[in-house]
With several copies, the nearest count.
Chain A
Amino acid sequence: MTDTNHGAPEAPVRESAVKTMTMAGAINAGLRAAMERDPKVLLLGEDIGQLGGVFRVTDGLHKDFGGDRVIDTPLAESGIVGTSIGMAMRGYRPVVEIQFDGFIFPAFNQITTQLAKMHYRSHGRIQLPVVIRVPFAGDIGAIEHHSESIEALFAHTAGLRICSPATPQDAFDMIQQSIFAPDPVLFLEPKARYWDKGDVDTDAVRTRLDDAAATADIGRARVARPGTDVTLVAYGPTVRTALQVADVAAGEGTSVEVIDLRSISPLDIPTVVRSAKRTGRVVVVHEAPTAHGVGAEIAARVGEEAFFHLKAPVMRVGGFHMPYPPSKFEHEFLPNLDRVLDAVDRLMAH
């Protein structure tokens, strides 16, 4: 299913279409492109209008598209998602912003029992192309509820797609593909990476925005760095950490392959298993607590499909089983460079 590295654009790059952008800027540009393409695309959320969102991801869009398309909603997440479902039933493509990860839970019922299940309940008659954008994960020194990794709480529920970009290019492409995919998508934006910069080809994605192509693209993992000794599986905010680990490990003579999952539902297991079979050593790195996290599913699947190739158990490096701690503790709570390196070292002992 995943034979090519989709991080690199397939179309020839026209010089003019490549711009340097922050991830926040890339999402902003992607939203703008989607709104220009289809008048049915609406943005909804708290403070996304004149303020441009607390992270300024919707900056300028209210001014250019007006309050009818960039809608400041009442302060009620269940209401935002619930009314978006109703609008989607009439052919709109609502793109909802949840202000912070920790504030998605009032909408949990609408997402889990309604948004995810309506297509099934209606025998495919109703499609709900709703995108829920969430600035997620930690490492920004914030107060409680502003740093959480919520992916595992939604990945168990069928009917949702979940993805998370790790680069400005993916952010630009994937937000548009999520909007034009026919299924609901939880779009997790690693907020600590909003200000990371990268080159973005703004042309390549255009031909890949129809339902099927968009869906396929947002479901695929990417080999972010090839290697031979250890497979590091990461997504969203931990991809940067994983690449740093690979750098340091290379200095110590260990060749680390970094896989950027991009998609959490579905998981691109073939890409991971292919790598695991080559390296025989796998570490999964995410910010969410390891217990019952996405890493558990990956470890289980790699166990099922690459068991006889593994030299050691799949290791997981993530948060601890605790509420996200006060920010002065977050550096050690998070899977930082040292903790991931420690895991790589322990695996290399096998």
Chain B
Amino acid sequence: MEALGPLSDNGLVRLLDADGTRVADPDWEPYAEHLTPEALRLAWRLMTLTRAFDAEATSLQRQGELGLWVSCLGQEAAQIGSGTAIREPDYVFPSYREHGVALTRSVDLPQMLTLFRGLEHGSWDPAQHSFHLYTLVIGAHTLHATGYAIAMDRDGLVASGNPDKDGAVVCYFGDGATSQGDVNESFVFAAVNNAPIVFFIQNNQFAISEPTTRQSRVTLAQRADGFGIPRVRVDGNDVIAVHAVTQWALRHARAGQGPVLIEAFTYRMAAHTTSDDATRYRTRADEEKWRQRDPIARLETYLDAIGELTQEYRDSVAAEAKALGKRTRETVKSWERPPMLEMFDHIYAEPHAQVEAERAWFDRYQQSFIDEGSHA
């Protein structure tokens, strides 16, 4: 057994140092070598857009336009690094904080906010984006992801003979989620079925207020050992390394070699949600220390150093970010609540007597106000 505490910094795969210098790691280089400066600029752009959107959503919540916002600040490298390794026909099961991954799946980010404005429980068409809906019950979706992966395998989408066509599932969840029975059952089902799935833990070091030490006494990556699942632990603020390990894991899964677990060690720079007050359970010093490891700044420093980030590109991304913010604000404010009667839709796929009776009652009830004017 390794003698690592769950927050140990040892044994992390890293290809870009905290100070923005590129590190060589012969084991992982093969999975990063396709990352041209252009690809890295794209990663930087996606991370920047994610952050801009995130900031706008936070401010919309402060203004009362959203009921709640779940920020992914600080986790952009973990999300964009992995998201850019995903392709058709892979399928993604996010938790509820994967806005960066959503961007890589072409989800229209402003549209996602219907959920946080209280208009819908699920905002996008999962099939269209190969990106399942957010799941708020911690860990529940990991079993759906596993079942989906088993079904992909049955459908011949794995080890098909043409590696370019093979697919796998990527399933995201948090450090806190690892304690749930469902997550561990997912490991069981994935392992015995040799399912094509990459379990991707974003260890942002907190489950709301609880540090990872409340969930485990060894690294979360090690959890995989108990189930016979290969694993890797990566610096989650290093977008290159995250991309590389995800590439490796996906190739492994798509090739029919079964599940893999990735722990991306990162930091939740914002509070848990806009309802949370992180000052109650962690220090400014801790936050400051991690601000030094900002994943976007890290890549920026590197791109700058190799002369691949022109002012022109910066300006264009800044303009795009601003436009995204503006569109987000306008979109959210433009939304009207749909007619009340719509809450009776899609409870069942086929009519259900109880629902139909209640829908009819409510319709008459609503009409009675229109007919009689306001009650009482």
Task: List, in ascending order, chain A residues with CB within 8 A of B177's CB.
Answer: 75
Most chain B beta-carbon neighbours within 10 Å: one of A73, A90, A161: A90
> How many Å lie between the Cα of A142 and that of B340 in the bound state?
18
Measured in the bound complex, the distance between the Cα atoms of B192 and A215 in whole Å is: 35
Give the residue of B189, B210, B362 whose beta carbon is less than 8 angstroms from that of A47: B210
Flag A263-280 by CB within 8 Å of B: 1 or 0 each. 001111100000000000
Asked if residues B354 and A211 are in contact (CB atoms below 8 Å), the reply is no
B→A interface (CB under 8 Å): 67-68, 115-122, 125-127, 132-133, 135-138, 140, 142-152, 154-155, 176-177, 179-182, 185-186, 188-189, 192, 207-210, 214-215, 275-277, 280-281, 337, 340, 343-355, 358, 362, 365, 368-369, 375-376
Whether the Cβ atoms of A82 and B147 lie closer than 8 Å is: yes
Q: Which residue of B lies closest to A92 (CB)?
A: B151
- Shortest CB–CB separation between residue B222 and chain A, in angstroms? 16
The reply to whether A338 and B376 contact each other, CB–CB distance below 8 Å, is yes
Contact B207 A211 (CB under 8 A): no
CA distance A311 to B151 in the complex (A): 57
Tell me whether B126 and A73 are in contact (CB under 8 A): no
Complexed CA–CA distance, A266 and B147 (Å):
29
A86 to chain B minimum Cβ distance, whole angstroms, is 2
Contact of A125 among B126, B192, B209 (CB under 8 A): B126
**Smallest CB separation, A77 vs chain B (Å):** 8
Q: Are B122 and A68 in contact (CB under 8 A)?
A: no
A46 to B344, CA, bound (A): 34
Q: List 9 A-B contacts (CB under 8 A).
A: A51-B277, A68-B154, A72-B214, A75-B215, A86-B150, A87-B148, A89-B148, A143-B67, A321-B352
Given the interface contacts A74-B189, A103-B137, does A125 sit within 8 Å of B118 by beta carbon?
Answer: no
- Chain B minimum-CB-distance residue to A290: B358
Residues of B within 8 A of A83 (CB): 143-144, 146-147, 150, 189
Asked if residues B152 and A106 are in contact (CB atoms below 8 Å), the reply is no
Known contacts: A76-B181, A211-B350. The answer to whether A82 contacts B140 by CB under 8 A is yes
Contact residues in A for B275 (Cβ distance below 8 Å): 54
Query: Smallest distance from the beta carbon of A161 to chain B beta carbons, Å?
Result: 7
B121, B125, B353, B365: which contacts A144 (Cβ < 8 A)?
A: B121
Q: Which of B126, B151, B352 contacts A122 (CB 8 A)?
A: B126
Complex Cα distance, B186 from A331, in Å, reads: 38
Question: A102 to B135, alpha carbons, bound, how many Å?
Answer: 12
Q: Is A25 interfacial (CB-CB < 8 Å)?
A: no
- The interface residues of chain A lying within 8 Å CB-to-CB of B67 are 141-143, 327
**In the complex, A84 has a CB within 8 A of chain B:** yes
Among A4-12, A107-115, A164-172, A194-202, which stretch is in contact with chain B? Answer: A107-115
Chain B residue contacts of A327, Cβ below 8 A: 67, 118
Asked if A38 is at the interface (CB within 8 A of a chain B CB), the reply is no
Question: Judging by beta carbons under 8 Å apart, are A86 and B148 in contact?
Answer: yes
Would you give the shortest CB distance from B3 to chain A, in whole angstroms?
21
How far in angstroms is the closest Cβ of chain B from A16? 32
Chain B's nearest CB lies how many Å from the CB of A50?
4
- How many angstroms from the CA of A333 to the CA of B341 in the assembled complex? 10
A248 partner, pick from B68, B188, B368, B376, beta carbons under 8 A: B376
